[in-house]
Amino acid sequence: MGVDVGFDMVPRLSKGAADRQNWDHFIATVQKHYKDDVKVETKANYIEFNAGEHPVLPFEGHKFLRFSSNTAGSIAVETGVRDYIDTVINIARLHFGPRVHVWSELSGQLGYYDWAEVHKSFKSYQTRDDMETHTNLTHITDPIKELSTPLLEVAIIPGRGRGLIARSNIPLGTRILCEKPLLTVKPMPDDELEEYISTQLKALSKNEQRQFLSLHNNFPRMHPFRGVVKTNGLACGCDSSVGGVYANICLINHSCLPNTHHSWNTDAKHETIYAIRPIECGKEITISYHPGKPSAVRQKSLMKSFGFQCTCKQCSLPAAELQASDRRRILIESLDDQIGDPVTFAGSPNTILESCRTLLHLAEEEYEGYPGAILARLFYDAFQVCIANGDQARARTFAQRAYEARLVCEGEDNPDTKKMKAFARKPTDHHSHGLSSMRWKTTKEMVPKGLDADQFEMWLFRMQK
C-alpha cells in the first residue's frame, strides 16, 4: 500500500524578485546540507533525490508545486526517503513559513494540488525559462569558496562618507566579504596602546598602512592610531576582548535595520559578512553598530561612540510607528533576559519555550521577516531547554532550525554552525542533556508526522490545544 508524504507550496511562488531570491537561497541551502550525500544529485534543471520515488526540486521556484514520495515499502525504507522529505520540509519552513503545506496520506491528509496539475509541473522542470539566472547557484552562495565576481564597490554616500554598495542583486545568505584584520588590539592603557598600534603598523605594507590611516577617526584629538581603532574596531568574537581593524569591512556603515551580519570565525581567524536579507543592486551594505534598545538610547550611544545621528529606515519612522518599534525592542530585550535567567530555565522550562516563541514573532515583526542572528540564538535557547529536560525530539528540531539560521548569517564553515549541525544529528551530545530533569523524555525519532504547519508549531513549543 502506498503512503505518500510531502509538502506543497501554497500559494505557489511568483516570478518576482523576492520569491525568486528566496527560492534560490532555499535551493542553495539544500545543496549545502547534502553536499557530501551521493544520493542527492544536482542536474541541469533540478536537484534529484535518488531515494524512494526520486523527488526533485527545480531551480525555478515558480514552477514548483510539490515535493513528495511514497514512504512505504522496502525500497523507500532502504533508501531512507522519509528522512529526506522531513529535512527538506524543515528547510522549506525556515524560508517560506506558513506557505509550506505539509501533508501525509497516513494521517488522511491530501496535498493541496491535484496530481494532474502536479505532474504537469514536473514536466515543466525539463526546460528552463531563464538559463542565465540559474546556471550555477552555488557560486553566489557557497560560504567556503570565494565569490567568482565582485559583489561590492566603494562609494561616497551623502552624509555618511565612504560606504559599500551592492553591484548586483545579492540573495539572502550570501557571503559578501571574508577578511583577516589589518591588525588586532587588546585592552591596555592608552599610551601603551598607541605605541602598540604603531609597532603593528610598521610591520604592514605601505598599501595596508594607507588603508588603515584612511579609515574614519571620530576622535581626532586623541592619538591618531588609537582613535582609528576605537572608531572602527570589531570584537574578534562575541565574548572576546580582542578587537580587529579591517580595510574593507570597516567601510560598512550602520543601520538599525541592517541587511548583513558580521561574525568572527575562531577557526579561520577571519571576519565574515553575510546577507541576512535580500539586497537589491545599488543598495548600501549595512551592519548594526548597536545591539538594540529604544531609538533614543541608540541615538545617544551612536553619537557618543561614532559621532553621527542615525537616519536609517527604522529611526525615520513616523512617531507612532517608532514608538511601536521601541516597545518591541524593549520587550525583545526583556524576553532575552528572561530566557537567559538560570532560575527560570531550571524551574519553569515551559515559560522559556513560551518566551522563545513570543520573541520569535516579535523579532520577525521588528526586523521585517529577517531577524538574522536573533533567530539562531533563540532556537539554540529552545534547544537547550528541551535537551536539559530529556526531550530529544524537540531538541533535534530546534537544533536543525538553529543550524539553518546560522548557515544564513555565519556560513557552513563557522564553528558554531558546525556544532549546531552536530547537535541536530545527535542532541544527546550536548552537555546539558537531562541536566534539569527527564520530565519531557522522548527519543529523537519521536517527531510527529503528518501535522500541518500550525499543528507542528503548537507541538514544538508545547502549546496547549
State pTM to two decimals.
Answer: 0.70
Q: What is the per-residue pLDDT across 326-379, written as a single tens digit (0 to 9) for each?
A: 999 999 999 999 999 999 999 999 999 999 999 999 999 999 999 999 999 999
Helix, strand, coil in percent for the chain, rounding step 5: 45, 15, 40
Q: What is the pLDDT of residue 150?
A: 66
Task: Burial-class residue 465 by CB neighbours within 10 Å (0-12, 13-18, 19+).
Answer: exposed
Which among 269, 383, 366 has a CA at the least distance from the CA of 327? 366
The order of strands in the sheet holding 270-275 is: 175-179, 270-275, 260-265
DSSP letter at 317 equals S
Q: Does residue 17 register a pLDDT over 80? A: no
Q: Which residue has better confidence, 20 or 388? A: 388
- What's the order of all strands across the beta sheet hosting 56-58? 40-42, 46-49, 56-58
CB distance 21 to 169 below 8 Å: yes
User: Of 317, 311, 178, nearest to 253 (Cα)?
Assistant: 311
Residue type, 436: S
Q: What angle do CA 376, 180, 170 make, to 5 degrees?
A: 55
Cell numbers of 346, please? 531550571
Strand order in the sheet with 66-70: 66-70, 4-9, 100-104
pLDDT tens sequence across 44-83: 899 999 998 999 999 999 999 999 998 877 777 788 898 8
CA–CA separation, 351 and 355 (whole Å): 6
Q: What is the largest CA-CA distance in the chain?
A: 80
Tell me the pLDDT tens digit for each residue of 418-435: 999 999 999 999 999 999
189 upstream amide cis, omega within 30 of 0: no
Query: Which one of 228-242, 384-398, 450-464 scores highest in mean pLDDT?
Result: 384-398
pLDDT higher than 60, residue 146: no
β-strands 234-235, 243-245 pairing: antiparallel
pLDDT tens for 75-111 read: 777 888 988 998 999 888 888 888 899 998 877 788 8
Residue 444 C-alpha cell reads as: 529523537
Chain center to CA of 193: 36
Backbone φ and ψ for 146, nearest 5 degrees, come out as -70, 150
Residue 151: band (very low, low, confident or very high) from pLDDT cuts 50, 70, 90: confident
Q: How far is residue 172's CA from residue 274's CA, in Å, rounded to a whole number?
A: 8
Q: The C-alpha cell of 121 is what?
A: 509541473
Looking at the chain, how many residues does it have?
A: 465
Sign for the pseudo-dihedral over CA of 63, 68, 74, 79: positive
Give the containing element (helix H, strand E) for 154: strand 152-157
**Chain centroid to CA 340:** 21
pLDDT of 273 above 90: yes
Q: With H, G, I as helix, E, B as strand and everything else as coil, classify residue 103.
A: strand
What is the assigned CATH class of domain 152-306?
Answer: mainly beta
Question: Could you give the CA distance from residue 413 to residue 329 in angstroms, rounded to a whole number?
Answer: 31
Residue with cell 527545480: 58
pLDDT, tens digit (0-9, with 9 covering 90-100), for 175-202:
999 999 999 999 998 889 999 999 999 9
pLDDT, one tens digit per residue, over 1-12 is: 568 899 999 989
pLDDT in tens, 280-316: 999 999 999 987 899 999 999 999 888 899 999 999 9
In the chain, domain spans: 4-141, 152-306, 319-460
**Can you tell me the mean pLDDT for 151-168?**
89
Whether the pLDDT of residue 171 is over 90: the answer is: no
Helix (H, G, I), strand (E, B) or coil at 361: helix
Q: Sorting pLDDT into bands at 50, 70 and 90, what band is 465? A: low
DSSP 183-223: EEE----HHHHHHHHHHHHHTS-HHHHHHHHTS--S-TTS-
* End-to-end Cα spacing for the chain: 32
Strand 253-254, strand 286-287: pairing: parallel
Do 83 and 390 meet the contact criterion of CB atoms below 8 Å apart? Answer: no
Residues 6+ apart with CB under 8 A from 64: 9, 12, 13, 23, 57, 58, 121
Residue 5, number of CB atoms within 10 A of its CB: 27
* CA–CA gap between residue 94 and residue 20 (Å, rounded): 16
**Residue 95: its pLDDT value, please?**
83
For 204, residues 6+ apart whose C-beta sits below 8 A from its C-beta are 182, 183, 212
| Closest by CA position to 245, among listed 225, 261, 260, 275 | 225
Which residue intervals of 413-452 are DSSP H helices? 415-425
Mean pLDDT in the chain? 89
> Is residue 148 exposed (0-12), middle (13-18) or buried (19+ Cβ within 10 Å)?
exposed
Q: Tell me which residue has cell 535537551.
A: 387
